[in-house]
Amino acid sequence: MPGKFAMKKSGKGFHWNLLAVNGRVIATSEHYETRRAALAGIASVQKNAPGASTVDAEEQLATKKVAKRTTRKATAKQNSKK
């Protein structure tokens, strides 16, 4: 039995929770102004999540910082040669 999406109306509009088989919340959406927008958010997760990989966001951030520094150094070096 797969997990399920539970949509709720709140003071800010609508939001949904993705519930595991045991009923525990494993994901929570942003707040949407309309029910239709919340349903579109659910559809997007259903479409885009199957087979999604797991990445370490901190590792990616560190890699991006190193790449930026390397690019800046190369740009500075090129500019100094002109």
Please give the model's pTM, rounded to 2 decimal places: 0.63
Q: How far is residue 7's CA from residue 32's CA, in Å, rounded to a whole number?
A: 11
| Mean pLDDT, residues 50-75 taken together | 70
CATH of 1-51, one of 2.30.42.10, 3.40.50.300, 3.30.160.160, 3.20.20.120: 3.30.160.160
Helix spans in the chain (H): 35-48, 57-81
Query: What number of CA atoms fall less than 13 Å from residue 80's CA on the CB side?
Result: 6
- 40 has a pLDDT exceeding 90: yes
Confidence (pLDDT) at 78:
67
Domain ranges of the chain: 1-51, 55-82
pLDDT tens string 44-59? 999 988 877 777 878 7
